[in-house]
Chains A and B, each alone.
Chain A
Amino acid sequence: MGKILVAVTIALCAFAWKMYESLDLRKTVYNHRPGICRQVHGPVKGSEDIELIRSEGIAFITSGILYLQPYRGDIVEGKMFLYDFNQKLGKDQLKAKELPIKGASFDQNNFHPHGLTHWVVNGVIRLYVINHSDGFKHSVEVFDYDPSGPALIHKKSIKHASFIRPNDLAAIGPDQFIFTNDGVTQSEMGNLAEILSGYKGGSVYYWDGEDSQVIFSAMAAPNGIAYDVKNNKLFISEINYRRVHAYTVEKDKKTLTHLSTVDLGTACDNLFVDSDGSVSSGCHPVLHEAAKSIGDCESDVTSPSQVIRIKFDKDYKTAAISEPYANDGKEVSGSSAVAFHNNQMLVGTVCKGLLHCEIPDPAVL
């Protein structure tokens, strides 16, 4: 009896410590920014993922996410926005333009975009967008970007059993992408049980245009994913374990060679690859506040935001980490994505707004 009591006590202590660490109790954020920051007019329901088209100086933004909360389907309207980095940074309000979506087969009422990626197919920018319907069914919607207008032309809707709970995807070829499932359960309560039990229900799949093949199964909550075309490197963030993995993509495109893992100490969401090969991410530094804020998107509850930048060495074995931006939530709440272009930074959020910052001196990053 005494031994059982000691064992139970030790188990409870271990569990309490794990909760203490996981939820970021006693953690706080100190505000700083690299330059002048302003709200971007347009995506009031969030900007969960941002995809930069470097050659055009534009970025596509998903807004109106629906995640594990089917009852919010009537409240939230999913939208796609376009931000032009070439717009003047004067005193005028910065704007992101809403993109109308054209296509007879497109179901606007069941559109709630999540992660997105792009590939240039026959000179046309093609977007691949993870979508969750009002009933929390999953698909990848394919759009072509029509710059005259501008608008998105809906091409097709990809549905497959491997879309278990997709979060983000990275295009590695025309109509070919690698995507992450961040868990298996389909409800908030299920997700909580999955997290608390430590069950590794996440997975990573490769979609070859016709079918999908599993790359990793039993990964714990893989979240953001980004592909560096120039260096043929793939990066996956594991949000619950606060780390980012670096891989090389082999020629068959479905085999990844692990290069290194970077422990970040903060819950990083979507990933962005810069032109110099560095990887940046929007992060949730205080996870218990993020859970509250994201769990109730319509309320005024905010949570801290953080942008982390990872600069790998040439072998992708070690990395230097810096923090270009941090805020307690008053300026931008629940950061999930970031994009850098032309000494500017866009900080996307799960469901509350979009922030733009100027970076007058990139050396401070």
Chain B
Amino acid sequence: MGPSNFTSFLFKLTSWLGIVWLSTTIVRFILLSDSNKRVYNHTPGPCRILQGIENGSAGIEYVPELRLAFISNGLGGSDGEIGRILTYEFPEPKAEQDRSVKIHEAIPLKIQKSDSFRQDKFSPLGLSSFTSKGRVSLYVVNTHPERKCVEAFTFVKEKSLLQHRKSICDHKFNSLTDIAVVGADRFFVTNLAYFNNGWMQMAELSMQMNMGSILLFNGKTVEYAEKYSPSPSGIFYDTPRERLIVSSMINEVIQLYSVKRDLSIDHKLDISLLSSPGGLYVEQKSGDIFASFHPVLNSLIFHWLGTNEERKASPSQVLRIRMQNDDVSWVVTEPYANDGATISASNAVAYVNDQLLIGSLFGKCLLCDVDYPTLA
């Protein structure tokens, strides 16, 4: 009598708790998916598509010393596409009159053949660079399922060439997304989720488990900078202000960390934006944070699951966050928004000389003039 009643009670309790958990998970997923959200088109000035890029510009890295932006292309390379790195050269600030006339083109870089690098297993996503003594090192997140590495290249400008220097691979690299270099062969890198497998990752993200992570490579080993981070998607190191900026795609926040001498990070602030952030950029002079967003997350899911032949459009958005002097409050403006018809699923952004460069996961790269920089 006793054991049977207790077992029955335990079963009922477990059932009810399961129902409650499932219900809350479903409700949270419904709220997360942005089913009732809408994006309205507007631009900060004239915009044009960058020539030479059709199927992806998911990562952008700007090198001010060269006035050059590196753009990664060919995400999801397991479909047979070969990953590429392209460059776009920003015009000189004085040559404003020519901006409207010039054809804006991205030039693909050759990657020097080497034993240590395989182009057929190269799916570049996040980019970051380090410049020392005029030499530019480019670090590329390789998301190919058989690699899961950070590829380090040296950029040879005269030959428009990337020389592969080494691959940094580690078992902690589960679902690499973005990278922020803080020194020679020292970088932070983000795992969006714990699982790398597509459906397991989707389930993990849907249930909003905070099992992504921020990793630090100190030149020798990979260690956890933050072991349980909520789906970190973009990461950027702001050198003059010694702060690390991390975007959380599922929690819809941008997190600010301060970075100490030993490269440990201290969480300072969360900026809630009610939109899912991707790539980040910091304007050096003002310290303003530019972020690209996926404002309607359910559209992004269908966009991601599509093939290159048939991919559903997903809205794009760029926000600018200006921290106030007290460093605890901010002002948000929206320089760009589009329902997906012009540029779909924006994932990267750079702001250079009052021009906005917006990259997308699997589509085009857009260049916009910002007519009123103080208003945008």
- Hey, what's the 0/1 contact readout for B232-270 against A, CB within 8 Å counting as 1? 000000000000000000000000000000000000000
- Are A326 and B334 CB-contacts (below 8 A) given A26-B31, A33-B375, A364-B371? yes
Task: Judge whether A321 is part of the interface by a CB distance below 8 angstroms.
Answer: yes
B37 at the interface (CB under 8 A from A): yes
How far, in Å, is A296 (CB) from chain B's closest CB? 25
Task: Please indicate the chain A residues that have their CB under 8 angstroms from the CB of B371 in the complex.
Answer: 35, 360-361, 364
Q: A30-B332, A35-B372 are in contact. Are A321 and B41 (CB under 8 A)?
A: yes
Docked-complex contact B333 and A32, CB < 8 angstroms: yes
User: A36–B372 contact, CB under 8 A?
Assistant: yes
Task: Check if A277 is an interface residue, CB within 8 A of chain B.
Answer: no
User: For A365, what are the chain B residues with a Cβ–Cβ distance below 8 Å?
Assistant: 42
Are A324 and B46 within 8 A (Cβ)?
no
- B 331-349 to A, binary, CB cutoff 8 A, 1 in contact else 0: 1111101010000000000
* Binary contact readout A345-365 vs B (1 if CB under 8 angstroms, 0 otherwise): 000000000000000110111
Which chain B residues numbered 1 to 54 have a C-beta less than 8 Å away from chain A? 31, 36-38, 40-46
Chain B residues within 8 Å of A251, by CB:
none
Question: Residue A32 contacts which of B38, B46, B335 (CB distance < 8 angstroms)?
Answer: B335
Contact A31 B332 (CB under 8 A): yes
Q: How far, in angstroms, from A33 to B376 measured CA to CA in the complex?
A: 7
* A320 contacts across to B, CB distance below 8 A: 41
A30 close to B375 (CB less than 8 A): no
The residue in chain A whose Cβ has the minimal distance to the Cβ of B333 is A31
- For residue A323, which residue of chain B has the nearest CB? B40
Complex Cα–Cα for A36 and B372 (A):
8
Tell me the complex Cα distance, A317–B298, Å. 27
Tell me if A322 and B375 are in contact (CB < 8 A): no
Minimum CB–CB distance from A286 to chain B (whole Å) comes to 11
Q: Is the CB of B274 within 8 A of A36?
A: no
Q: Mark A197-232, 1 if CB is under 8 A from B, else 0.
A: 000000000000000000000000000000000000
B41–A323 contact, CB under 8 A? yes
Flag whether B319 is at the interface (Cβ < 8 A). yes
A27-B37 contact in complex given A326-B334, A364-B43, C-beta closer than 8 Å: yes
Cα distance A363–B45 in the bound complex, in angstroms: 8
Q: What residues on B are CB-neighbors of A265 within 8 Å?
A: 36-38
Chain A residue nearest in CB terms to B375: A33
Give residues of chain A (300-344) contacting chain B, Cβ–Cβ below 8 Å. 306, 308, 320-324, 326
Q: Does A28 contact B (CB under 8 A)?
A: yes
**Which chain A residues border B43 with CB–CB below 8 Å?**
364
Q: Which residues of A contact B42 (CB under 8 A)?
A: 32, 34, 322-324, 364-365
Give the number of residues in B that approach A within 8 Å (Cβ atoms): 27
Which A residues are CB-close (under 8 A) to B40?
266, 306, 308, 321-323, 326
Q: How far is the CA of A264 from the CA of B41 in the complex (A)?
A: 12
Identify the closest chain A residue to B252 (Cβ). A26
Give Cα distance in the complex from A26 to B331, angstroms.
18
Which residues from B are CB-within-8-Å of A250? none
A361 lies within 8 A of B375 (CB) = no
Chain B nearest CB, measured from A18 CB (Å): 11
Set of chain A residues within 8 Å of B31, measured between Cβ atoms: 26
The yes or no answer to A21 lying at the interface (CB within 8 A) is: yes
Question: What A residues does B376 contact at CB under 8 A?
Answer: 32
CB-nearest residue of chain A to B36: A21
Residues 14-52 of chain A, each 1 if its beta carbon lies under 8 Å from chain B, else 0: 000000110000111011111110000000000000000
* B contact residues around A28 at 8 Å (CB): 273-274
Inter-chain contact B38/A30, CB cutoff 8 Å: no
Instruction: Name A28's closest neighbour in chain B (CB-CB).
Output: B274
Residue of A at shortest CB range from B295?
Answer: A30
CB-based contact A361/B45 at 8 Å: yes
Q: Cβ of A364: which chain B residues have Cβ within 8 Å of it?
A: 42-46, 371
Chain B residue contacts of A264, Cβ below 8 A: 38
A32 vs chain B, min Cβ distance (A): 5
Chain A residues positioned under 8 Å from B37 (CB to CB): 27, 265
Q: What is the bound-complex CA distance between A33 and B45, given in angstroms? A: 11
Across-interface contacts of A363 in B (CB, < 8 A): 46
B37 → A minimal CB distance (Å): 7
Q: What is the bound-complex CA distance between A36 and B375, given in angstroms? A: 8
Q: Flag if A322 contacts B41 (CB, 8 Å).
A: yes
Which of B38, B43, B275, B331 has the most C-beta atoms of chain A within 10 angstroms of its own C-beta?
B38
Give me 15 A-to-B residue pairs in the complex whose CB atoms sit less than 8 angstroms apart, sorted by A's number: A26-B31, A27-B37, A30-B337, A31-B331, A31-B333, A31-B334, A32-B376, A33-B375, A265-B37, A320-B41, A321-B40, A321-B339, A326-B40, A364-B42, A364-B45
Given A21-B36, A364-B46, 4 other A-B contacts at CB below 8 A?
A20-B36, A36-B375, A323-B337, A360-B372
Those 7 A-B pairs whose CB atoms lie nearest each other, nearest first: A265-B38, A323-B40, A30-B334, A322-B41, A32-B334, A28-B274, A31-B333
